[in-house]
């Protein structure tokens, strides 16, 4: 970890911020500062933009096979360095090492997938209805991109954007979250080693997000914004993008319903709940936020879930045998505490957890609440912590209506042994993704994304690269 870069990456070179500013990165398990990284300002953003704009034309002309092989090499380097990258991620973000290794593998897969997609960008040819004119369609990179990522998946949220941008022939500026800049800087070093030309990827770490990003979005030279983060910030960035009509992809917040019907296999449902709730300590946009369980099985489901949640070991992510690391910071933990207190005030019962431990680090115990009232704040707020809130329902129409009664629509989970019901309910849920008898939907080969206020566009899958491509149509009369 001592050789992890801590400077900005601009035009293929490492540099301090123009005003020499740095910002601390701390370990959420101990509160100790583990590094100081460059803290970019507006001048650095301008330099990064200049580098991306300068590199764009030649990069767009670079053969798809060359772009593909850079991604493939980077994929191989990431896999080789899994352990090193996992330790870095755990140190800055807190997730247990086993989960960090899982994220490294997931992140690497985006590079492998898009190395395969880079050489499959196709165009088209058509005879127009008049029989004379021909239409030639070609695909072109959208141009220099701004990529903004959150802290919860420090490596994978980067590769999910950088992979398709490289494959499509776009240059880019990556602005990672200030809590987790080290994984992005390590990724930039890997891409340089894999042969990425100077200026194609630029990384600006900063605690001054608005000062760095707003001029880029309004300036007219950045042609695309790909953002992953909260709906509130996404809304602000959409407004800023409107001025220069910047194309946008938005991966925003969620409020996932997790529905357990009376005919569900409860073993599958509890396994699915553990995954959908506890992956990343509940700090995931895909985290199950509202558990709707049929009245006839609610007691048994709650008992089994509380037993599993109560058996999880909480502690620093680097320690052997730990299942649940700290939350990202004290602000995140305070929000979870407030949501639990509010639910309890409105009548919820705590089956397990619910008490903040003493001592250093931002730990919060796995918690199961039952008899949660529908007007509790956690029903319309992303909990972003290890808290499962159980409500009951009696019939299918009712649960679909309640599941859809939210401005978000990222993902939903449905547990039933009836194929008919699984399809019928999935089709009526207003979400971009559904886990049917599973608590995990993320896969680089599948289109990830939401509807309603959970976002615009998709990442991964065959369509992931489309977000970074434009059509050009040539009209060719044939006489
Ligand atoms: P956030 O506060 O929205 O921040 C996300 C990123 O946006 C950070 O890099 C942040 O930097 C930056 N940002 C904030 N204000 C900005 C501004 N005015 N201009 C430019 N950049 C700005 O979200 P978060 O707390 O880091 O992440 C959690 C959220 O992300 C949750 O809502 C979660 O659901 C969502 N998420 C969605 C997906 C998905 O695929 N749909 C995946 C993962 C996470 P600063 O921190 O410096 O402000």
CATH number for position 390: 3.40.309.10
Question: Which pTM was predicted?
Answer: 0.98
* 436 domain residue, yes or no: yes
Q: In the structure, what pLDDT confidence band is assigned to residue 152 with cuts at 50, 70 and 90?
A: very high
Res 2: pLDDT = 54
Pocket test for ligand 1, best of 226, 230, 289 (most atoms within 8 A of CB): 230
Q: Is the pLDDT of residue 61 over 60?
A: yes
* 230 domain residue, yes or no: yes
Query: From the CB of 103, is ligand 1 less than 6 Å away?
Result: no
Tens digits of per-residue pLDDT, 458-475?
999 999 999 999 999 999
CB neighbour list of residue 192: distance below 8 Å, 6 or more residues apart: 9, 12
**281 and 240 inside one domain:** no
Whether 156 and 106 have beta carbons less than 8 Å apart is answered as: yes
**236 and 293 inside one domain:** no
Query: From the CB of 408, is ligand 1 less than 6 Å away?
Result: no
Residue 383 Cα to ligand 1 middle (Å) = 15
Query: From the CB of 455, is ligand 1 less than 6 Å away?
Result: yes
Mean pLDDT across the chain: 97
Tens digits of per-residue pLDDT, 342-366?
999 999 999 999 999 998 999 999 9
Number of helical H runs and strand E runs in the chain:
13, 22
CA dist., res. 273 & res. 289, Å (int): 10
Q: Is the pLDDT of residue 1 over 80?
A: no
* 34 domain residue, yes or no: yes
At CA 253, angle to CA 256 and CA 335, rounded to 5? Answer: 90
Annotated active-site residue in 49, 109, 251, 467: 251
Query: From the CB of 336, is ligand 1 less than 6 Å away?
Result: no
> What is the residue with the minimal CA distance to atom 22 of ligand 1?
209
Percent of the chain with pLDDT over 70: 100
Annotated active-site residue in 145, 213, 285, 362: 285
Query: From the CB of 177, is ligand 1 less than 6 Å away?
Result: yes
**197 and 305 inside one domain:** no
Tens digits of per-residue pLDDT, 99-122?
999 999 999 999 999 999 999 999
Q: In the structure, what pLDDT confidence band is assigned to residue 3 with cuts at 50, 70 and 90?
A: confident
| CA distances to 20, 102, 233, 465, 467 from 454, in Å | 37, 25, 12, 20, 17
- Establish whether 285 is a catalytic residue: yes
Tens digits of per-residue pLDDT, 184-217?
999 999 999 999 999 999 999 999 999 999 999 9
Res 185: pLDDT = 98
Res 77: pLDDT = 98
- Measured in degrees and rounded to the nearest 5, phi and psi for residue 85 equal -70, -35
User: What is the mean pLDDT of the segment spanning 128-134?
Assistant: 94
Query: From the CB of 382, is ligand 1 less than 6 Å away?
Result: yes
Q: Is the pLDDT of residue 52 over 70?
A: yes
**459 and 367 inside one domain:** no
**108 and 168 inside one domain:** yes
Residue 249 Cα to ligand 1 middle (Å) = 13
**317 and 241 inside one domain:** no
Res 341: pLDDT = 98
* 3 domain residue, yes or no: no
Pocket test for ligand 1, best of 40, 150, 276, 380 (most atoms within 8 A of CB): 150
Whether 38 and 21 have beta carbons less than 8 Å apart is answered as: yes
Residue 106 Cα to ligand 1 middle (Å) = 20
Whether 70 and 198 have beta carbons less than 8 Å apart is answered as: no
Q: Is the pLDDT of residue 280 over 70?
A: yes
What region does 284 belong to: left with phi over 0, alpha with psi -120 to 50, or beta? beta
CA dist., res. 146 & res. 125, Å (int): 32
* 263 domain residue, yes or no: yes
* 449 domain residue, yes or no: no
Domain with 216, as residue range(s), is: 8-252+454-475
Query: From the CB of 174, is ligand 1 less than 6 Å away?
Result: no
CA dist., res. 457 & res. 252, Å (int): 11
Nearest-atom index, ligand 1, CA of 459: 40
* 173 domain residue, yes or no: yes
Nearest-atom index, ligand 1, CA of 231: 32
**61 and 200 inside one domain:** yes
**152 and 55 inside one domain:** yes
Query: From the CB of 109, is ligand 1 less than 6 Å away?
Result: no
């Amino acid at each position: 970890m001592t050789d992890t870069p801590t400077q900005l990456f601009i035009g293929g070179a490492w540099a301090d911020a123009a005003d020499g500013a740095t910002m601390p990165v701390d370990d959420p398990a101990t509160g100790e500062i583990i590094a100081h990284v460059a803290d970019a300002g507006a001048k650095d953003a301008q330099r990064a933009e200049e580098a991306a704009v300068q590199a764009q034309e030649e990069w767009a002309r670079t053969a798809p096979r060359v772009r593909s092989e850079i991604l493939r090499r980077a994929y191989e380097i990431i896999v080789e360095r899994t352990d090193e990258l996992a330790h870095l991620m755990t140190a800055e973000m807190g997730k247990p090492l086993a989960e960090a290794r899982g994220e490294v593998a997931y992140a690497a897969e985006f590079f492998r997938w898009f190395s395969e997609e880079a050489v499959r960008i196709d165009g088209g040819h058509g005879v127009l209805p008049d029989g004379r004119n021909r239409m030639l369609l070609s695909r072109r990179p959208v141009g220099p991109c701004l990529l903004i990522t959150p802290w919860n998946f420090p490596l994978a949220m980067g590769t999910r954007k950088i992979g398709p941008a490289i494959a499509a022939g776009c240059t880019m500026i990556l602005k990672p979250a200030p809590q987790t800049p080290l994984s992005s800087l390590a990724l930039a070093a890997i891409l340089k080693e894999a042969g990425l030309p100077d200026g194609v990827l630029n990384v600006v770490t900063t605690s001054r997000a608005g000062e760095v990003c707003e001029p880029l979005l309004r300036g007219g030279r950045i042609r695309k914004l790909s953002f992953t983060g909260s709906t509130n910030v996404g809304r602000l960035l959409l407004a800023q993008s409107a001025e220069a009509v910047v194309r946008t992809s938005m991966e925003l917040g969620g409020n996932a319903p997790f529905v357990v019907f009376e005919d569900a296999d409860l073993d599958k449902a509890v396994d699915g709940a553990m995954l959908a709730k506890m992956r990343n300590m509940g700090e995931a946009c895909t985290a199950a936020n509202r558990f709707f369980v049929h009245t006839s099985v609610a007691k048994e489901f709650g008992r089994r879930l509380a037993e599993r949640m109560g058996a999880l070991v909480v502690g620093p992510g680097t320690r052997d045998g730990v299942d649940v690391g700290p939350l990202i910071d004290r602000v995140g933990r305070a929000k979870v505490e407030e949501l639990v207190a509010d639910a309890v005030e409105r009548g919820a019962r705590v089956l397990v957890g619910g008490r903040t431990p003493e001592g250093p680090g931002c730990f919060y115990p796995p918690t199961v609440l039952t008899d949660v009232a529908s007007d509790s704040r956690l029903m319309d707020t992303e909990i972003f912590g290890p808290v499962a809130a159980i409500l009951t329902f009696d019939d299918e129409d009712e649960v679909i209506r309640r599941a859809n009664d939210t401005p978000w629509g990222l993902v939903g989970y449905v547990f039933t042994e009836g194929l008919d019901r699984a399809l019928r309910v999935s089709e009526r849920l207003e979400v971009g993704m559904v886990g049917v008898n599973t608590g995990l939907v993320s896969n680089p080969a599948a289109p990830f994304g939401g509807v309603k206020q959970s976002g615009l566009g998709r990442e991964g899958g065959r369509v992931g690269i489309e977000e970074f491509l434009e059509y050009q149509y040539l009209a060719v009369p044939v006489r």
